[in-house]
Chain A
Amino acid sequence: MTAMTARTATTAAAGPKRRRPRIGRALLLLVFAGYFLLPLYTAVDFTLGGSRRNMGHTLSIWTGLIHQDGFTENLMTSLKIAAVTVVLLLVLMVPTMAWLHLRLPRMRRLVEAVCLLPMAIPAVVIANGILGAFKSWPEAITGSWWILVFEYVVLALPFTYRSLDAGLSAIPLATLVEAARSLGASWPATLWRVVVPNIRTAIASAGILGAALALGEFTIAHLLLLDTFPVWTDQAGQQDGEVATTAAMLILFLSWLLLMVVSHLGRSRTAKTPKLQKTQTRTMQSQKPEKVGTGE
């Protein structure tokens, strides 16, 4: 009885202590939510005319955006750059990363370090470096949005490397590839039919991050005197703050939409295949004996 009382007392004393971290976490979450959401709220409110109290809220700036000079052209240019950047990134990086994991695992650290370099190098250095590297290329490339594609491919390398590396590390790549090869699959077929479907979420993440970067990058495009949507937004902002803010919000919501699509893809993938194991052996030991020839 004494022991029981003592235990109850201990539990009672521990109760509020356990709750405290939960309250702390909730408070912390609220602070961070406020830090991120408040500026967004005020920006959206601004684009809806909330700052002009006498007019009330209106969607006129959003609906009028499409009629702004240069809006459609620059948005299309940025979307084009984002699409080509993503395709080029994935075509370059998926086979490279798969090869790295399969044949050169010891080189992974070195390649990772190289891929992370763009994060440490100032944008102006990257811009000039790539201009220098492509100076012998035709003006049609170096003087157009194409040069930005090459810039953004380099800038997106850190995100792409990390996403694909995580995806490839989560599957038993070597045995899947060997199984495909032994069944008659060529290297391209193995990559397309086996590797890509099994790292679909990682590829989508890499693509979305690359697209988000290409859609929102300003500094290099501005330095190279090229017209993209962020550059147009900056110029529009010098004349009309509401239009610039609305355009910025549009890009932000587009990126969010893309991220939500990826997240949804990831969730449906997880529901279909709970967890890919490095060796698919975890369930073997605990299975019930089966009836021969029936699989029961």
Chain B
Amino acid sequence: MSAPTVASALTAPTARSAPSVELVDLSRSFGGVAALDGLDLTVAPGTLTCLLGPSGCGKTTALRIIAGLEHCDRGEVRVDGQDVARVPANKRDMGMVFQSYSLFPNLNALDNVAFGLRMRGWNGAKRRTRAGELLELVGLSEHAAKYTHQLSGGQQQRVALARALAVEPRVLLLDEPLSALDAVVRVQLREEIRALQTRLGITTVFVTHDQEEALSVSDQVAVMRSGRLEQCAAPAEVYADPATAFVAEFIGTMNRLPGTLSSDGATVQVAGRRLTVRDGGPQLGGEVAVLIRPEAVRFELSETGAATVRQAGFRGPITRVVAVLEDGTEVLSDVPSASAAELVAGRRIDVVLADVPVLVVER
């Protein structure tokens, strides 16, 4: 297929300006158990927002309510300011990619991509041309005549993506689209999805439980817990400046060290060092747990050190070293592998904390 045709496929979805999506006080219960409990979220036009959280936090329920596949008990789903909560799924003009692909087994790849266009009354030749363009967009032109069982998982998910994009949806919804793929394909496809989303400028909501996936592809990450939003911010901010202890411990790895809070709550004494307590922390006073990332912890060899190395796990460029304080508390540090050779089990070390504001929680 010629380049100009592909270009038309690429530009078509952006012909309409991307809408914003707002969830306002969204609530949904299943048999008395609240899956969503007053969720508020705003997705800016043309951006990709990841709904991230542990299993059962309500992220898929929220996505299905946006798609119209589930109804809400209370609240609004606003697309470009208009509440669509009562609009049936087939009238919402949204494209959805499912975890289990959901390709139609009775149709080949081309007809799967053309399905949504057929439902919109496009004539045969026009919709086949458009479907062919979309298949080329996801690199599957030569597989157009294949049925789902003749395609690999990654190829099926690309067809599903092409099918969702073919109808030029106002909003693209991705429900854990990569979780069933193996690690290498997952990384490749997520980069591809992000590249496509950026090029098409389509407002996208991406549900995942994989924090690395969420941090790497999104403009903003919405961390959810028990049907509520814990924090919604840019990936770097969520990682570096978690709003709550849950976010801090859910995103990445976190050390939880015993500390003593000053009477004014501004500083905390931990591992022989006094660190500043981040704003917004609880006014606990006394004994607390200090949350600090492994990369903010350094181990120095010392015969009189207060900790002992328990184990070191090689992870390529870095080695994760686990040490134990005298009171039995475990401390993790990510050490460049080149300088981790001497940090072997049984060596005495000093634990040195970087001078960064820390989050404190109840011990």
Contact = CB atoms under 8 A, between A and B. Distances in A.
Interface of A: 171-172, 175-176, 178-186, 189, 193-194, 197-198, 200, 272-276, 279-281, 283-290, 292-295
Contacts, number: 137
B106 to A, nearest CB: 4
Q: Is the interface of A mostly helix, strand, loop or mixed?
A: loop
- Sorted nearest first, the 4 A-B pairs with minimum C-beta distance are A284-B153, A183-B116, A179-B102, A289-B184
A184 B90 contact: yes
A186 to B, nearest CB: 6
A165 B185 CA distance: 36
B156 interface: yes
A153 B191 CA distance: 55
Given A171-B105, A176-B104, A280 B156 contact: yes
A59 to B, nearest CB: 43
A284 B177 CA distance: 12
29 contacts: A178-B67, A179-B98, A180-B104, A181-B88, A181-B90, A182-B94, A182-B164, A183-B90, A184-B120, A185-B90, A193-B118, A197-B106, A198-B105, A198-B106, A200-B106, A273-B105, A273-B149, A276-B105, A281-B153, A284-B154, A284-B156, A287-B154, A287-B181, A287-B182, A289-B185, A290-B185, A293-B138, A295-B142, A295-B143
Contacts of A292: 139, 188-189, 191-192
Contact of B155 (A276, A286, A290): A290
A182 B139 contact: no
A274 B188 contact: no
B90 A273 contact: no
Interface of B: 67-69, 88-96, 98, 100-106, 115-116, 118-120, 138-140, 142-143, 147-149, 152-156, 158, 163-164, 167, 173, 180-182, 184-185, 188-189, 191-192
Contacts of B88: 181
A276 B101 CA distance: 13
Contacts of B188: 289-290, 292
A186 B104 contact: no
Contact of B192 (A180, A183, A280, A293): A293
